[in-house]
Amino acid sequence: MDRIAFDIAHLLAGGLVLVSFMMIYQERLTALLNVFAMHAVVLALSVSWQAHIQHAPHLYVTAAIALVFKAMIIPGALHRIIRRMGIHREVETVVGVGLTMLAGMGLVAMSIVLMLRLTEAADTFAREDLAFALSVVLLGLLMMVTRRNAVSQVVGFMSLENGLILAATGAKGMPLVVEISVAFSVLIAFIVIGVFLFRIRERFDTIDLGALEEYRGENQ
């Protein structure tokens, strides 16, 4: 039982990393949002599996929050936004996909090596989980750095936050309050960023961050 429990937890957390990689090479915004929704679904699965093996019913709430907010409401809202802005067919990257993938692999390798070394004394579940969680966080950061569209930066930020939740659920005993407050802060960040998107767009007719830079009188 334990062996299987570990393998499934491992599979789900690894799946999250895999979906993060998928996000990195999505060049179209619509596809990116779909993959992000999938990211959240995998997260919800992973969290509920943790809830099952840790016998921690409150983690089911966490999983439900992830499923409802991150897999449905936020991607749906972002879909609406990009449709209203008419940018759902846009293609954007700054750094080439191959290079980004390579960098991402390097980051994952680094975080796994680092985490496995640092947490030798810890529980096996927590170790694997933490290593994958750090990878997800770093991949989210990488995404924020390599994109220039504000929407994909928001997605990068949200996927980073997913990594944090994965880390928190893997380490036993995160109180529900923390999870709920994190969820709400993400929601609020989403609202604020959404409002900003429209404001930026109103002003510059685009949500390409390069426009902001030009506005400040600078080039790349």
Partner 1 sequence: MRKDFRMSAVDLALLAVAALLALGAYAIPFGRQTAARPLIYGASAMLCTVLLLLGVAVLAGQAGVSARVLPIGLPWLGSHWGLDPLSAFFLVVVGMGGAAASLFAIGYGRHEGEPMRVLPFYPAFLGAMTLVVLAQDAFSFLVAWEVMSLLSWALVMAHHRTEGTAQAGYVYLLMAGFGTMALLLAFGLLAGPAGDYGFAAMRAAPRSTTLAAVILGLMMVGAGSKAGLAPLHVWLPLAHPAAPSHVSALMSGVMTKVALYGLIRVVFDLAGPLEWWASPAVIVMGAATAVLGILSALMATDLKRALAYSTIENVGVIVLALGLALAFRANGMTAPAALAFSAALFHIFNHAAFKSLLFMGAGNVLVATGQRNLDALGGLIHRMPVTAALMLVGAVAISALPPLNGFASEWLLFQSVLLSPDLPQAGLQIIVPAAGGMLALAAALAAAAFVRIYGVGFLGRPRTDAARSAVEADRFSLAAMGVLGLICVLAGIFPGVVLDLLAPATEAMVAARLPLQAEQAWQTLVPIAEARSTYSGLLVFAFITITSSGSAWLVHRFASRRLSRGPAWDCGFPSNLANSQYGAGSFAQPLRRVLGSILLGAREEVTMPPPGSTAPSRMIVRLRDWAWEGIYQPLAAAINTVATQANRLQFLTIRRYLSLVVGSLVSLLLVLTIWN
Q: Which of residues 34 and 119 has its CB atom nearest to partner 1 in the complex?
A: 119
Closest approach of Cβ 147 to partner 1, in Å? 9
Closest approach of Cβ 175 to partner 1, in Å? 24
Q: Which of residues 49 and 201 has its CB atom nearest to partner 1 in the complex?
A: 201
Which of 179, 153, 171, 132 is closest to 16 using CA atoms? 132
Residue 187 CA to residue 28 CA, distance in Å, equals 24
Q: Which of residues 135 and 162 has its CB atom nearest to partner 1 in the complex?
A: 135
Residues from 124 through 183 that contact partner 1 (CB under 8 A): 138, 141-142, 144-145, 148
Closest approach of Cβ 94 to partner 1, in Å? 8
Tokens of 152: 């994909």
Residues from 21 through 50 that contact partner 1 (CB under 8 A): none
Residues from 66 through 125 that contact partner 1 (CB under 8 A): 94, 107, 110-111, 113-114, 117-118
Helices (H), the chain: 2-24, 29-54, 58-65, 74-85, 97-118, 124-146, 150-170, 176-204, 209-215
Residue 177 CA to residue 167 CA, distance in Å, equals 16
| Phi/psi at 175 (5° precision) | -65, 150
Residue choice 68, 164, 209, 211 for contact with partner 1 (CB under 8 A): 209
| Site size toward partner 1, by CB under 8 A | 20
Residue 48 CA to residue 52 CA, distance in Å, equals 6
Which of 48, 78, 105 is closest to 187 using CA atoms? 78
Contacting residues toward partner 1, per CB under 8 A: 94, 107, 110-111, 113-114, 117-118, 138, 141-142, 144-145, 148, 209, 212-213, 216, 218, 220
